[in-house]
Amino acid sequence: MNQFNNEIWFVGAEMAPLVKAGGLGDVMGSLPKVLLKAGINIRVVIPYYKNIIPKNMISISGTYPAGSVKFGEIPFEFGIKTGYAQDGIPLVLVEQGHFFNRQDVYGPHGGACGYKDNLLRFAMLAHGTAYAMRILGVPLAVHTHDWSGGFVPAVIRQTFGDKKVGIDAEGILGAKITKHVNAKGLRPAIAFTIHNLRYQGVYGMDDFYDTGLDFKYNSSSAYEHFGTLNTLKGGMKLSDMVTTVSPTYSGEIATAGFGFGLDGELKSLKEQGKLRGILNGIDLDYWNPKTDKLIGYNLNVREDGFKLKDYKEWQNFKLNNKKTLFSEISLPVKQGNYGNPLPLIGVVSRLTEEKGIEEFLDALLNWNDFPFQVAILGSGKDEIERKAAYLAEIHKDKVYALTGRYDEALSHKIYAASDIFVMPSKFEPCGLSQMIAMRYGCVILAGDTGGLHDTVSDLTHGGSAEPSGILIKHIDAGGISWGLNELYNIFAGESGKWRKLVINSANKHFGWDDSAKAYENLYYEIIK
Ligand code: ADP
């Protein structure tokens, strides 16, 4: 018990490809892989969602004696299993049938209807994590994520104390961290990443008693926020460093317009040097147009630094993948009056207000005979799902919408086939979909915010040297129509400009290398 090991533990509610509801899953799947490759000992802790995680994606190697925690007066037992994900990432699975044997991660409709007991479910994740540390050894640092990982810092502190484990002067990160301080009553350093500030896990203060947390955390220096229990706030207050997932978003959330009531806290963290923006990356091996097994046609270009002469092959790629997609979704390929098929607009998104998809649908509904075809895959709010279905109904030969579903294979086909990818978010912490879409040669129409601002190079407003799309300042139907119209004119007009946009997009590789290094330095900084 209480032996320190030289690991960094990730804790979160999702981990792609085992279980994913959104971008958090992608990050929990890809960042640990890159860090592991860089020689850092990583373990990932997730709930054991037996109904969701495919059996062939994990191997279980250890089962440990059950732990228990009291939520109010009611004791709950839970199990700990260790094993590996298919790509070799060491796992700790917190097993608790009542809380985790569900059909969804957060609740139906991509979490739009959250399970009533989510507070307890993710309190269980935190208690399971601390218990696993007592069994397996306390890591040097724990990196926990989002409101669902927000109880981890408190449970760690109440289990191991407030003093950090630390390393001696010669210790450096990675496989070489061996000279750890071996003493009792020390905790790992804690990093906390906000992937989306909108979701804060807010409950009534009455619920605090049921979380199994020490009563001292029921205060404004931890989870109490203007009379409510705010899981995200406590998580960030009790961590050694808070990060968010793009530089622009880290500035935005410290302002009233984007702070969702926590801007004061975030501003103060920023002033103390305890809030950073580190851009997410995508797994460039998984999202690879040359090797992707889920699409109909793989790109046949050797180098990754694409030249204008490669555009012909990109055209092949788009056309063939459009044929595959359209035969699957029973949409005819419609020709434009300039001899090529109409541009295909792709959407792969949660259908929540902030994504601006409702405004995009309004733009198309207001447009009599729009010169596009559209493929929408998304899940979320009923009204937006219904609006997408309605648009598909009135434009049967132009629009396809699959709503209320998460479909990984179809998402790949849409990225591969689309000419334009639309993501008019009103705020976007980082956004991975636009990075994936650029990797697959889509030109982007996006909101000028957060990670979209940091990754899409705008061709309007004076323009960037290597534009990859259009960034819209005001998200409404008018603004989106304007952007689509601009892109259509380029697509249908003098082809040289479109060709450049596609090649620029495809050349923007948002991998993890720089960001993984930034996290590595950050761990070192907080462990010291
Ligand atoms: P967010 O995390 O806000 O949902 P991101 O752009 O960061 O948005 O990440 C979204 C991820 O989820 C992308 O990998 C995208 O392809 C995927 N995704 C979103 N909705 C669906 C869906 N209905 N089916 C398949 N993949 C989806």
pLDDT by 10s per residue, the chain, length 528: 446 778 999 999 999 999 998 889 989 999 999 999 999 999 999 999 999 999 999 999 999 999 999 999 999 999 999 999 998 999 999 999 999 999 999 998 766 679 999 999 999 999 999 999 999 999 999 999 999 999 999 999 999 999 988 765 455 444 444 445 545 679 999 999 999 899 999 999 999 999 999 999 999 999 999 999 999 999 999 999 999 999 999 999 999 999 999 999 999 999 999 999 999 999 899 999 999 999 999 999 988 899 999 999 999 999 999 999 999 999 999 998 777 899 999 999 999 999 999 999 999 999 988 999 999 999 999 999 999 999 999 999 999 999 999 899 999 999 999 999 999 999 999 999 999 999 999 999 999 999 999 999 999 877 678 999 999 999 999 999 999 999 999 999 876 899 999 999 999 999 998 899 999 999 999 998
The DSSP result for 128-195, as a single string, is HHHHHHHHH-B-SEEEEETGGGTTHHHHHHHHH-SSB--B-TT--SGGG---B---SS-B-EEEEEES
Pocket perturbation via mutation, ligand 1, pick of 294, 433, 434, 449 by most ligand atoms within 8 A of CB: 433
Using the atom order of ligand 1, give the atom closest to the CA of residue 26.
Answer: 14
Rg (CA), the chain: 23
Hey, whose CA ends up nearest to atom 15 of ligand 1? Answer: 433
- DSSP 8-class letter at 450: H
- Ligand 1 close to Cβ of residue 349 (< 6 A): yes
Q: Return the ligand 1 atom nearest residue 433 CA.
A: 6
Query: Is 378 near ligand 1, meaning CB less than 6 Å away?
Result: yes
Nearest-CA residue for atom 20 of ligand 1: 349
Ligand 1 center from residue 62 Cα (angstroms) = 32
Alpha carbon nearest to ligand 1 atom 2, residue: 23
Peptide bond into 17 cis (omega under 30): yes
Quote the ligand 1 centre to 216 CA distance (angstroms).
37
Ligand 1 nearest-atom number relative to CA 432: 6
111 three-state secondary structure: coil
- 407 Cβ closer than 6 Å to some ligand 1 atom: yes
Q: Is the CB of 425 under 6 A from ligand 1?
A: no
Beta partners for 401? Answer: 376
Task: Indicate the pTM of the whole model.
Answer: 0.90
